[in-house]
C-alpha cells in the first residue's frame, strides 16, 4: 500500500511536525511500497538534523515531492526553497520538484514556468505537474500552461509526470497503481477489511461508497472500481474506524497528524474539508494496523453530517474514478526505467537510489 506521511494541515518538514514525521518514517522500516512526503517547508538545520536520523533503508523508499510554485508561501523565498531542496536530496535521493499549484495569472507566466523547469533540471532531475483543486476536489491546470511547462522540461531533459503515483512507481520500478490496472487481485484483503463487493468485467463493484473507497480499492486490488451509489466525494473511507478517520487520495493511503500550524497558504484545500480544517485530527494508521483498527471499532463515519462534499450535478450514473477525479495519462511509459545504483550512507552501509542520467 503506497503511503503518504503527514499530508494534511501542517507540513511534515516544519519544526512543529518533523519529530512526528521521523517517528512515522522510522516505524515504516519494513514497508515495501513507496512512501510519499509533500512539503513546502523552508530551510532549517534543526529539521535536517532530525531527518538525518531516518534509517537508510526507509530514506531509500521515500519520495519527497517539494511543492515549488514561486508564490513565496509562508514568506519563504524561492532561493531558500531551492537551498532546502538541495539539502533534502542529500538525505532523500528521490526528491522531486512538484509544481503544486499552478494558478492562473499568479504563477503561470512562461518566465516562472521556465524557472521551475530549470530548478528541476539542475537539482532534482524530475518534475511533477500540479494544478489547483476545484470545489469538486479535482485538480485543474490549463492545457496551454501544462504543455508549456512540459515543453520546457523536454528541452532541458527533465522527465515530467502528471501524477505523483506515476513518478514514484517509475522511480521504484513498479507498476503505476493508478494507471496499470487489470483483473482484481488481493481480494482476500478486501474481505478481511469488511468490504462487501462483487466482480463484474474485471471491476470491483460495491453497492455504495465514497471517492475515498474508489481510491483505496483501486490501490489495493489494482483494478477499476464501480460504485452503484457515490455517497460522498471526500477521500474518507466507509470502513469503521472510530475517532480515527481513514483516508485515501487517488495515489496514497494517508497516515497523518492534522495539526493547527502550517504555512497557511491562501489556496489551501485542507481548510475547505470539514473533517480537517485546522483541527487536531488523526488520519489513518500504520498500514500493518489497518485490519486491527477496522475490526476493533464501531460504526463508520456519518457522511450525512457533511455539507461541503460536492459531486457533479448530473452525477447519477457517474460511478467510477474518471467520473469523480481528473484523469491524466501515465507519462512513466515515456521514459526508460531509471538505473538503480548503490550509494554509501553515513552509517557506512549502502542503499539503492536511482538516476535517469
Structural domain boundaries of the chain? 3-179+327-355, 181-241+290-320
Kindly report the CATH number that applies to the domain delimited by 3-179+327-355. 3.80.30.10
Mean of per-residue pLDDT scores for the chain: 87
Q: Is the pLDDT of residue 229 over 60?
A: yes
pLDDT (mean) for 303-311: 71
pLDDT at position 326 is 81
pLDDT tens string 69-80: 999 999 999 999
pLDDT at position 298 is 67
Sheet strands side by side (includes 127-129)? 160-161, 127-129, 95-99, 62-67, 35-39, 3-5, 253-258, 281-283
Nine cell digits for residue 357:
542520467
Q: Which residue has the higher pLDDT, 200 or 144?
A: 200
Predicted model pTM: 0.89
Q: Is the pLDDT of residue 83 over 60?
A: yes
Q: Is the pLDDT of residue 134 over 60?
A: no
Q: Is the pLDDT of residue 246 over 80?
A: yes
pLDDT tens string 269-303: 776 777 777 778 889 999 999 988 887 766 677 78
With bands split at pLDDT 50, 70 and 90, how would you rate the model's confidence at 311?
low
Nearest to 39 by CA among 63, 60, 71, 75: 63
pLDDT at position 312 is 59
Long-range contacts, 308-311 (Cβ 8 Å, 24+):
308/272, 308/273, 308/274, 309/232, 309/233, 309/234, 309/274, 310/135, 310/136, 310/137, 310/233, 311/136, 311/230, 311/233
With bands split at pLDDT 50, 70 and 90, how would you rate the model's confidence at 317?
low
Q: Which residue has the higher pLDDT, 318 or 276?
A: 276
Amino acid at each position: 500500500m503506497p503511503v503518504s506521511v503527514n499530508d494534511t494541515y501542517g507540513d511534515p518538514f516544519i519544526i512543529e511536525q518533523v519529530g512526528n514525521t521521523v517517528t512515522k518514517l522510522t516505524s515504516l522500516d519494513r514497508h515495501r511500497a513507496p512512501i510519499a512526503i509533500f512539503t513546502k517547508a523552508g530551510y532549517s538545520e534543526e529539521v535536517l538534523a532530525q531527518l538525518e536520523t531516518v534509517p537508510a533503508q526507509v530514506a531509500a523508499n521515500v519520495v519527497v515531492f517539494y511543492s515549488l510554485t514561486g508564490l513565496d508561501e509562508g514568506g519563504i523565498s524561492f532561493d531558500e526553497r531551492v537551498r532546502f531542496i538541495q539539502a533534502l536530496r542529500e538525505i532523500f535521493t528521490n526528491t522531486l520538484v512538484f509544481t503544486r499549484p499552478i494558478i492562473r495569472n499568479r504563477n503561470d507566466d512562461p518566465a516562472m514556468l521556465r524557472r521551475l523547469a530549470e530548478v528541476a533540471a539542475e537539482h532534482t532531475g524530475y518534475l511533477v505537474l500540479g494544478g489547483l483543486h476545484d470545489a469538486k476536489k479535482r485538480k485543474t491546470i490549463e492545457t496551454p500552461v501544462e504543455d508549456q511547462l512540459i515543453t520546457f522540461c523536454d528541452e532541458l531533459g527533465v522527465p515530467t509526470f502528471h501524477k505523483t503515483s506515476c513518478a514514484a512507481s517509475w522511480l521504484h520500478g513498479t507498476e503505476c497503481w493508478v494507471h496499470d490496472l487489470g483483473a482484481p487481485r488481493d481480494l482476500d484483503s478486501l474481505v478481511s477489511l469488511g468490504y462487501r463487493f462483487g466482480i463484474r468485467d474485471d471491476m470491483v463493484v460495491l453497492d455504495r461508497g465514497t471517492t475515498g473507497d474508489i481510491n483505496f480499492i483501486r490501490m489495493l486490488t489494482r483494478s477499476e472500481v464501480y460504485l452503484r451509489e457515490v455517497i460522498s466525494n471526500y477521500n474518507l473511507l466507509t470502513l469503521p474506524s472510530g475517532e480515527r478517520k481513514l483516508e485515501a487520495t487517488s495515489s496514497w493511503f494517508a497516515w497523518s497528524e492534522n495539526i493547527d500550524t502550517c504555512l497557511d497558504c491562501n489556496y489551501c484545500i485542507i481548510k475547505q474539508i470539514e473533517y480537517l480544517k485546522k483541527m487536531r485530527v488523526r488520519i489513518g494508521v500504520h498500514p500493518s494496523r489497518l485490519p486491527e483498527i477496522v475490526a476493533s471499532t464501531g460504526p463508520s463515519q456519518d457522511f450525512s453530517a457533511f455539507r461541503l462534499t460536492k459531486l457533479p450535478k448530473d452525477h447519477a450514473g457517474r460511478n467510477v474514478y474518471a467520473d469523480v477525479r481528473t484523469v491524466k495519462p501515465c507519462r512513466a511509459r515515456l521514459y526508460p526505467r531509471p538505473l538503480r545504483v548503490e550509494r554509501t550512507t553515513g552509517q557506512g552501509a549502502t542503499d539503492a537510489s536511482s538516476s535517469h542520467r
